[in-house]
Chains A and B, each alone.
Chain A
Amino acid sequence: MTTVARRPRDRRRVLDWVAVHSLGLALGLMFALPIVFVFLTAVMSDSQAFTEDLWPREWHWGNFLEVFEQAPLLTYLGNSLLYSGLATAGMLVSSIPAAYALAKLRWRGRNAVFMLVVGAMMLPPQVVAVPLYDTWSGLGLTGTLWPLIVPYFLFDAFSIFLLRQFILTIPQSYVDAARVDGCTEFQALARIVVPMARPGIAATALFCFLYTWNDYFGPLLYTSEKPDQWTLSLALASFKGMHHVQWNLAMAVTLLIMLPAVVLFAFAQRSFVRGITFTGVKG
């Protein structure tokens, strides 16, 4: 340290480093501590969970196995992956072109259409569900996850909005340059915008995946009468019975539900980083 901090400028840099990193560490801890509580509760005995006693008196690692015995978690995992995977894929297919059209193409009525996209997020989902349920029911698709997946292949206001905002941050000159080079709009989108907006696209995809992963209301409405169609988040509720709550198991399932999402995030992180380098090189 002392060797580095010989000159005042270096010392300032060291102080800066220390300040930023302690702040980062404090933030990390603040965010992590409640998760630690979840973990400690998950390995407690049923009778200790949610008491004031925070440290497990006995470590019940078996809780993680017990949840597999109590519920066919692998089936639910498959359903969750199907729902989140297809929804995310569908969202990317439908939302990227729409977001591009809203961000980089000039046409009359663009602002009005954009406002409609924003407006689409503002109807309370509980109310929208009433007419929609009747429609899906008429198509005979209730009891499956399709009423939740199909809309993503057409329209997801949230993702279009988010992607548009990301694409807006790409300087117009890049797109114009591509057009001058004779690219069609589709080529400009595929060759310039998509690579440059990669962190944004990764973030949006991650978002979409996690939203559907944790979606409780949708699967409850459409699949609750068909347990072989349940998702993990819906199954979590079955650990909270009417007359007895098994907090420890509920928390163990919570951690298990989070696990795939954490793995996914670990991968998605890399694409953020690559995105940055790419933009840097390009510049």
Chain B
Amino acid sequence: MRRLHRAALLFVAAAMPLTACAAGSGGTGQAGPAAAPGQGDAFTLTVWSNYSGREQDEVTKALESFKEKFPNADIRHEGSQDDDKITAGIRGGNPPDVAMSFTTDNIGQFCSSGSFQQLKPYVDRDGVDLGQIPDAVRSYTEYKGNRCAMPLLSDVYGLYYNKDMLAEAGLTAPPRTTAELLDFAKRTTKKAADGTIEVAGFLPTMLFYANRPPIWAPNFGAKWETPDGRSGLASPEWAAMLEFQKELVDFYGHENLERFRAGLGQEYSTDHAFHQKKIAMMIDGEYRTAFLRDQAPDVRFGTAPFPTIRPDLYGIGFTTGTIMGIPKGAKNPGAAWELIKHLSFDTGTIVDLANGIKNIPSTKAALADPRLEVDENFRTFIDLAVSGKLQGNPVTPIGDAHIKAIGDFATSWQAGKVPDLMAGLAEVDRQIDDQVAKSGK
């Protein structure tokens, strides 16, 4: 209870200078929340997202459901707009009313630069219960206490395993610890006489498929920052993660592994290695269940929380998702907020969209909604989402520079090019801290 109190105080303290600053900057700043439109008002909202094809159609359907509340609203949804475009639109003074971003990497910039307007005044005015949103999702939609975005569904990561391939190796249940994962990986791997890999149990290659450092980190208890807010990669947890990877790399042989990996199909194509039964286990998001069902119905697979380094951590995982905000200079912020609120909190809309594009709902009510289509494999991810143990993306003002830095380092390390692990990690820390210092935020 006391800790919660302190956290709340911290939150208020962090938010104060920001609001004060915005108010002080006069005409360009935000005076307060813009008024909501009247029920029967006719207005137009432009929405930019990075969706395309079928997913874009599903999101458009969700946007159209807004008309149940505001029948005379006209919503224009433009897909294929990336973050560069959003920034250009803001700078040029012709941004959309609502911007959706696929990556949570840029939330630090969006909030700290004022690209996305602060939503706290709206949240306060309307008495919105942010507690409806799982903690981890809440953390990746704000930066240093400045809430400038809301979630539109989320992705949750876990273990995928090929049941037949595990059974063939005499394994009946998925691994629960990373030590077991290592053992299972070795037992499900098939090598030719010359060492060539035919089937790999599990791939440790960083930045390949969903093997991204933020996705792995929670399961090794690895933290991005030290308590005083500096980059904290030179830690035993990160070292343990890299040691785990190295052990597996050494088992395959780096050369063999690289040759095998380079021949595998693309992450979002039908010749994905897991679809092709070339790997027995992998870490991936919930959306993969839909891909497997559509593109590789013959793969008998199961899902489970990703193994952890310590048994007590089990059930932890990584989450990320699409975020949306009101860009600076939006023509109709009051109505934009109503649309965002609708998409973030209207249970029916969230459930329909989650069913449509096979993502995880981002409110507790929608997660528990019986209309949500959940099969045995999707259930794992829903359970993870409601567990309260998920962790989000580390939020920084430098985009994903920190992820690239550690990813590059892991690649060198796996190739055997790093003599001193801890010294190397400390060097990466310095690199990240320099970049953050340079940003001045």
Contact = CB atoms under 8 A, between A and B. Distances in A.
Direct A–B contact in the complex, CB atoms closer than 8 angstroms: yes
Interface of A: 46-47, 49-51, 130, 133-134, 136-138, 142-143, 220-221, 224-227, 237-238, 241-245, 247
Given A46-B270, A221-B88, 9 more contacts: A50-B271, A51-B265, A133-B88, A133-B91, A134-B92, A224-B81, A238-B79, A242-B52, A244-B268
Contacts, number: 72
B55 A245 contact: no
Contacts of B53: 238, 241, 244
Contact of B89 (A220, A225, A242): A225
A47 B295 CA distance: 8
B48 interface: yes
26 contacts: A47-B270, A50-B266, A50-B271, A51-B270, A51-B271, A133-B91, A137-B92, A137-B93, A137-B94, A142-B94, A220-B85, A221-B85, A224-B78, A224-B85, A225-B96, A238-B80, A241-B51, A241-B53, A241-B54, A241-B55, A242-B51, A243-B268, A244-B53, A244-B268, A244-B291, A247-B269
Contacts of B91: 130, 133-134, 137
Nearest to B269: A245
B50 interface: yes
Contacts of B413: none
B260 interface: no
A231 to B, nearest CB: 13
Contacts of A130: 91
Nearest to B295: A47
B94 A143 contact: yes
Contacts of A227: 78
A227 B78 CA distance: 8
B209 interface: no
A137 B85 CA distance: 13
Interface of B: 46, 48, 50-55, 78-81, 85, 88-89, 91-94, 96, 102, 265-266, 268-271, 287, 291, 295
A137 B96 CA distance: 14
Contacts of A237: 80
A49 B271 CA distance: 9
A212 B94 CA distance: 25
A241 B52 contact: yes
Given A46-B270, A225-B78, A242 B88 contact: no
A242 to B, nearest CB: 6
B100 to A, nearest CB: 12
A226 B46 CA distance: 11
B50 A242 contact: yes
Nearest to A129: B88
Nearest to A238: B52
B153 to A, nearest CB: 13
A224 B52 CA distance: 12
B432 to A, nearest CB: 24
Contact of B92 (A49, A142, A224, A244): A142
B240 to A, nearest CB: 32
Contacts of B92: 133-134, 136-138, 142
A134 B94 CA distance: 10
Given A137-B94, A224-B80, A225-B78, A242 B269 contact: no
A238 B78 CA distance: 12
Contacts of B50: 242
Contact of A225 (B48, B266, B291): B48
B56 to A, nearest CB: 8
Contact of B81 (A133, A138, A225, A243): A225
B152 to A, nearest CB: 14
A243 B288 CA distance: 10
Nearest to B285: A243
Contacts of A142: 92, 94
Nearest to A221: B88
Nearest to A225: B78
A148 to B, nearest CB: 14
B379 to A, nearest CB: 21
Nearest to B88: A133
A242 B102 contact: yes
B275 to A, nearest CB: 10
Closest 9 CB pairs of A and B: A137-B92, A241-B52, A241-B53, A47-B270, A225-B78, A51-B271, A238-B52, A245-B269, A243-B268
A244 B266 CA distance: 10
A247 B271 CA distance: 12
Contacts of B266: 50, 245
A100 to B, nearest CB: 37
Given A238-B53, A242-B55, A50 B265 contact: yes
Contacts of A221: 85, 88
B209 to A, nearest CB: 13
Contacts of A51: 265, 270-271
Contacts of A247: 269
Contacts of A49: 269
A259 to B, nearest CB: 24
A54 to B, nearest CB: 13
Nearest to B53: A241
Contacts of A46: 270
